[in-house]
Amino acid sequence: MVINTIYSNDLPLTCGGFARKNEDDSYTIVLNPKHSYHQQRATYMHELSHIVNRDHDSEKHVNFIESMRHNI
């Protein structure tokens, strides 16, 4: 499994980052460089949990998935 990590200055301060599944079945985790190292690390681990749990392939509603990941 390939996971790329990039930083985007375009993210608002309210967004720590997100993960996306690419067409080639790799993933990209996008982090907010305006956040502290510790915030970025927490965001990375959260987004990694989405990848490990295959949330991008789930038919469940995104709000349900997020509530599950925040309660881990």
Mean pLDDT of the chain: 91
Asked if the model's pLDDT at residue 8 lies above 90, the reply is: yes
Residue type, 53: N
Provide the CB-side half-sphere exposure for 67 (13 A, CA): 5
Going by pLDDT thresholds of 50, 70 and 90, the confidence category of residue 63 is confident
Q: Give the model's pLDDT for residue 62.
A: 75
Cα separation, 72 vs 2, in Å, equals: 24
- For residue 44, the enclosing domain spans 3-70
Q: How many domains does the chain have?
A: 1
Per-residue pLDDT at 72: 58
pTM: 0.85
d(CA 11, CA 18): 10
pLDDT at position 3 is 97
Only one residue has tokens 């608002």, namely 12
Measured CA to CA, the distance from residue 12 to residue 3 in angstroms comes to 23
* Amino acid making up residue 14: T
